[in-house]
């Protein structure tokens, strides 16, 4: 899966520009902007709609971040991530 290598690249880039990568599950859970996934049993269609909605949320946020960046290396990395996310959103949509 492409997620772990990309997460590592983002963490390395953040460290390279003076940031401090923070990827502990508790930190991610406390700071996410994603809506909670339904806790009750849901059908496949509802699950796909929820995944598509949150994928769109992440894609929109990342697109806005890219537009605000001036660092070409980070823009390139974010654009690569955006391409992967958009492809996966297309896969989700194709199953609805």
User: How confident is the model over 41-63, as pLDDT tens digits?
Assistant: 899 999 999 999 999 999 999 99
Q: Flag residues of the chain having pLDDT under 50.
A: none
pLDDT the model gives residue 28: 86
For residue 82, the model assigns a pLDDT of 94
Q: Is position 33 within any domain?
A: no
Residue 71 lies in a domain: yes
CA gap 56, 95 in Å, rounded = 16
Look at the chain and report how many structural domains it folds into.
1
Range(s) of the domain holding residue 11: 1-16+43-96
How confident is the model at residue 72, as a pLDDT?
95
pLDDT on residue 1: 56
Q: What is the DSSP letter of 1?
A: -
Q: Note the pLDDT of residue 37.
A: 82
Q: Are 55 and 89 in contact (CB under 8 A)?
A: yes
pLDDT of residue 23: 85
Q: Is residue 48 a part of any domain in this protein? A: yes
Give a yes or no: residue 51 inside a domain. yes
67 part of a folded domain: yes
CA–CA separation, 3 and 73 (whole Å): 19
């Amino acid at each position: 899966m492409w997620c772990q290598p990309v997460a590592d690249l983002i963490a390395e880039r953040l460290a390279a520009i003076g940031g401090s990568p923070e990827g502990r599950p508790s930190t991610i859970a406390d700071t996410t902007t994603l809506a909670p996934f339904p806790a009750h049993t849901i059908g496949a269609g509802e699950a796909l709609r929820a995944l598509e909605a949150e994928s769109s949320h992440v894609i929109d946020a990342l697109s806005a971040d890219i537009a605000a960046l001036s660092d070409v290396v980070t823009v390139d990395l974010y654009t690569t991530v955006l391409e992967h996310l958009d492809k996966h959103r297309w896969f989700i949509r194709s199953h609805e």
